[in-house]
Amino acid sequence: MHEMSLAESVLEIIEDSARAQDFRRVRRVVLEIGELAAVEPDAMRFCFDAVMRGTLAEGAELQIVETPGAGRCGQCGATVAMQERYGLCPDCGSAALQVTVGERMRVQDLLVE
């Protein structure tokens, strides 16, 4: 999907942090990407490298932590593992699954100098 603009958001977050925390170079970026966030890690890596070129994070290692998706069944209340944003509850067969975790995309931490 929109990995290029997401990579630009990562850069904005890095630049904000650099101003607040006073660092000049980023060595590693740890990014949490939920299984249901509809982000392709490979596309994200490609865009990350392209966007970071010529910035304080040029050449930084991108570490992606993928978190599994899960939801709650609105019918029977079961907690269900989800690999897609839709599906049927394995317990009662209802389609009323609400995603509870796995949609997050966030910068967790930075290794800086």
Partner 1 sequence: MCGTCGCGGRDVLIGGKRPVRAKGGGALAFRAPGSGEGQAGHAHQAAELRVIQVERDLLAKNDAQADANRQMLAARGIFALNLVSSPGSGKTTLLVKTITALNGALPLAVIEGDQQTENDAARIRAAGAPAIQINTGRGCHLDAQMTAQAMRQLDLPDGGLLLIENVGNLVCPASFDLGEAHKVVILSVTEGEDKPLKYPDMFRAASLMVLNKCDLLPHLEFDPELAVDYARRVNPALQVIRLSVSSGEGMDQWLDWIRAGCREAGRTLSDTLESE
Residues near partner 1 (CB under 8 A) are 1-6, 8-13, 15-19, 21, 23-25, 27, 38, 40, 42-44, 46-47, 51, 54-58, 84-86, 95-96, 104-113
Nearer to partner 1, 63 or 79 (CB): 63
Helix (H) or strand (E) holding 71: strand 69-73
Nearer to partner 1 among residue 5 and residue 79 (C-beta): 5
Amino acid sitting at position 31 = L
Q: Please, what is the minimum distance in Å from the beta carbon of residue 82 to partner 1? A: 12
Residue 43 is inside which H or E element, if any?
Answer: helix 41-52
Residue 97 near residue 74, CB atoms below 8 Å: yes
